[in-house]
Structure 1
Amino acid sequence: MKLFVQIPCLNEEGTLPLVLDTIPRRIEGVDEVEILVIDDGSTDRTAEVARERGVTHVISHSRTMGLARSFRDGVDYALAHGADIVVNTDGDNQYKQEYIGELVAPLVRHEADIAIADRQTAQIEHFSWFKKRMQHLGSQVVNYAAGTALPDAASGFRAYSKYALVRLNVVTQFSYCMETIIQAGNKRLRIVSVPIRTNPKTRESRLFSNIFQHMAKSAQAITRSYLMFKPHVVLGSMAAAFGVIGLIPFLRFGVLWLMDADGGHIQSLLFGTLMLVGALLSIALLVIADLQRTNRVLLEETLERIKGIEYGRTDAPGPGGDRGEDEEPRP
């Protein structure tokens, strides 16, 4: 079994050596441990430092492409070089790399397809009260969209099996964290959480300038991913709401007409008509979204077969075999 530890980096020459020096080279159940550094358009010596430390797998972007693209390029590279498990960590030394063995253990035992580190954010000292609450709220929203129960959905310290990576497709430009959980949950992949401790803060995040920007971009990624898998929930609710609101003015108009009340109350009819048109448009969009969803499922099945040919066979680990996204999860 081959494990790739991939490290997306943007100007991390100062902290990258700390990360590389603490990555375990021997892990129970793993035959080979390889390290992959993705230099996302760094302007410092990140790539040179990686090579000086003995890293033979380095991907360099000519310009900054973003975390999601770096993750995707790293996964493609790792799978092409025979990876059975890919661990994603950060180059800022936020995570304690000695936990990698615990993180991959459920995958090695074929008990999970994805393992996500739980940073136990409520106990992180440099997190403000507001940030802790927002982290908790964000995890709850992601869990609702994915049908999971993860305490730290925003954690970037993760282990993915080859089977999971072949089934996941990152399309967002911001961060893969939320999107891959929602995809994995709706595709019935097995996800576990592994509690860890983090290192002291080394720098401010380069992924976003402030927490409000992070919240806005995360909300956009969550909404987009949720609509991909459950458009009927959003659009169906909108159609029902518009329909009920639209019927009320018509009922009111009918009651007043039967009572021979003065005035035509045409405004109520216009408002009701507008709401009913909104309901019909929501239903039309729902039909289109459902057709697109069906087409996406077929395209993803084709893409999985192509990946299987390119990267080798990817059987579903453990009992039960493959589980499609439309099947009910096992209790």
Structure 2
Amino acid sequence: MSDTRPLPSIGPHRLTSRVILAPMAGVTDRPFRALCRQLGAGLVVGEMLTADPALWNTRKSRLRMDHCGEPGPRAVQIAGGDAEMLATAARLNAEQGAEIIDINMGCPAKKVCNKAAGSALLRDESLVAEILEAVVKAVDIPVTLKIRTGWCADSNNAVRVARLAEDNGIQALAVHGRHRQQRYTGDAEYDTIAEVVSSVQIPVFANGDITSADKACAVLDYTGANAVMIGRGAQGNPWIFREIDHYLRYGEKLAAPDMTERCGVLGGHLKALHAFYGEHMGVRIARKHLGWYLDGDNRLDDASRRQLRATFNGLDNVQSQLDFIDELFRHDPADAPTRVARVVAHHGTRAA
């Protein structure tokens, strides 16, 4: 059954689909955002950026802040534990073209939580309210918030935090269905997300373990959320946005991308990485993406994936990586063992 509800809005920005790319450090760079938007994401959010402007002069931060040529709305996620610093970061990003500011209160990483940022903030609701109020007052663009269900199983406070968010002017809320101590283990739970949806009037986006059109539809039906947010499910599978969007609109499933499209998308993604980062960094960053694409290719067994990943990781220049992709997808997928052996033999020699 198709979803006939109006598409959600964040302030003046109407989403183009009910599927959102979650911010992921080291993943949702400009090339990946562009690809996911092209394949149906209704909103894409940049990589988490520290709220401390003194750290923005590093190459990593400059690249994370690069939204050159991107269509709107440009959404920037900031992370920190000091209300005044977060407000300043929001204002500076707005001055540089951000159209939505997202506050991170969901990251479970130790290096973030140890600085009383990310999901660690959920332990201090008064500080949460202080931060939300300061950031919303600092800018005249929409501010959104991403949270988890709580810090641990005994402190599930997502509903209270959601109400604080609404009271302090947050215009949309994403909820990951795990508490911080779970990190990414176990299964996401959606009961808390459903409680949040019923407790506030602002749009709520459901996040966690959504890896297919069927799952997205089931989560939206169960929680009543306005959209789904896809994180790890998009790694190596940017087509997930198109597949979910089509299913929600028309109630029918799209065919999986064929070999020609997979080759074109992966080759285009690698070229964009090389152009954005330069050859030295681009070649290295391409390796993790290739690994994710291989993980998502059900034509390959685990041994083949390991062989291909090891071979690709030995390639150290742009052209050899592009040749690898061309060779990998050129042959009949029904003859996967021969195809893999040919690619490994050819490009393994080049890597050596």
TM-score, length-scaled by structure 1: 0.26
Q: Which structure exhibits the higher relative contact order, with contacts defined as CA atoms closer than 8 Å and separated by 6 or more residues? A: 1
**Bigger radius of gyration:** 1
TM-score, length-scaled by structure 2: 0.25
